[in-house]
């Protein structure tokens, strides 16, 4: 359900039986406005029996082709179910599919695969998910220029946000040179800012310096939200990702509640969505960019190099997705 300042909640999970049951109910009840997927999600989902019949019927020997066939079936179904939301409001109703994570340093390969996946799936409310690497920025620009919506993923720092926004800006400029599309018809983009991974990485150090735990991820995300919004690109929104909690120290919906900001999206695991309550949530306090810079400076003074940590988390995220992708192919 969207509220009056256009916050959106997307589901960070895809699985065949889920799509035909709870997913439909969550859309009908106005709980979610979209969904996302990634290799780790598909790795988990493809182990379920609901995929066995299609695997056997396809008789595809090439494992990547088999993976794509299974994934595209789920993405098509999700896109079909979400299409009414997209038709009512083209800022919502999307499902994301990620390009092969092994292409993260191959701009040409990413563009070709993103284009192929988008056209094969055949729904306008599909976002091609691309890691925010140097090659990824080039691919984002080109896909937007081709009219394809993009989800920039694994974003941790200001430099990545700026590079994403510059890519989208250039992509829109190219598209407008060849097409006179109205805003409602333009491809959309989201910048997936990862949140909780900072806290899991840095909380123990911050605690030693008297800095509250479970705050760095939120403050960093809010800072990047300010940077993104300063571009005022109407087709681009902040998407807060990695918003599940680990352990029992935090409420399951903690990161959704703390990042409940205008025009933002939160893509969350089912446990967080189940715990989230639209009826009791209120707009979260958003510190000024100056306040956030002061906080981030205190983190730096505590001995944490955010640029170094961001690079480490990016590399870890890429490696995790590559490993998950490899395990998918092995299991097929």
List, by residue number, the catalytic residues. 129
DSSP one-letter code for 163: H
Q: With 0-12 CB in 10 A as exposed, 13-18 as middle and 19+ as buried, what is 331?
A: exposed
Give the separation between CA 306 and CA 150, rounded to whole angstroms: 26
Q: 260: which residues sit within 8 A by CB, 6+ positions away?
A: 7, 266, 281, 282, 283, 284
State phi, psi for 259 to the nearest 5 degrees: -120, 35
Q: How far is CA 287 from CA 33, 37, 221, 245, in A?
A: 26, 31, 11, 22
For the chain, give percent helix, strand, coil, nearest 5.
Answer: 55, 10, 35
Give the separation between CA 243 and CA 325, rounded to whole angstroms: 22
């Amino acid at each position: 359900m969207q509220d009056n300042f256009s916050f959106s909640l997307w589901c960070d999970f895809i699985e065949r039986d889920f799509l035909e049951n709870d997913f439909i109910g969550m859309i009908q009840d106005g709980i979610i406005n979209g969904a996302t997927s990634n290799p780790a999600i598909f790795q988990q989902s493809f182990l379920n029996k609901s995929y066995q019949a299609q695997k056997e019927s396809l008789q595809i020997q090439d494992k990547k082709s088999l993976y794509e066939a299974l994934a595209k079936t789920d993405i098509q179904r999700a896109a079909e179910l979400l299409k009414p939301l997209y038709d009512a409001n083209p800022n919502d109703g999307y499902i994301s599919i990620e390009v092969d994570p092994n292409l993260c340093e191959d701009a040409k390969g990413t563009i070709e695969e993103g284009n192929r996946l988008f056209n094969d799936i055949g729904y306008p409310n599909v976002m091609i998910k691309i890691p925010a690497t140097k090659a990824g920025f080039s691919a984002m620009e080109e896909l937007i220029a081709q009219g394809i919506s993009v989800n920039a993923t694994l974003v941790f720092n200001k430099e990545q946000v700026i590079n994403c926004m510059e890519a989208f800006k250039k992509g829109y400029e190219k598209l407008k040179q060849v097409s006179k599309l109205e805003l409602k018809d333009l491809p959309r983009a989201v910048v997936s800012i990862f949140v909780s991974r900072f806290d899991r990485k840095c909380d123990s150090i911050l605690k030693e310096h008297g800095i509250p735990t479970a705050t760095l991820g939120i403050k960093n995300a809010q800072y990047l939200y300010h940077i993104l919004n300063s571009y005022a690109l109407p087709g681009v929104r902040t998407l807060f990702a990695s918003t599940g909690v680990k352990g029992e120290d935090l409420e399951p919906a903690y990161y959704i509640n703390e990042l409940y900001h205008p025009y933002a999206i939160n893509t969350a695991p089912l446990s967080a969505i189940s715990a989230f309550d639209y009826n009791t949530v209120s707009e979260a306090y958003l510190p000024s960019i100056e306040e956030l810079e002061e906080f981030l400076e205190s983190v730096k003074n505590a001995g944490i190099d955010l640029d170094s940590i961001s690079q480490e988390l990016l590399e870890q995220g890429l490696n995790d997705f590559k490993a998950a992708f490899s395990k998918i192919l092995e299991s097929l």
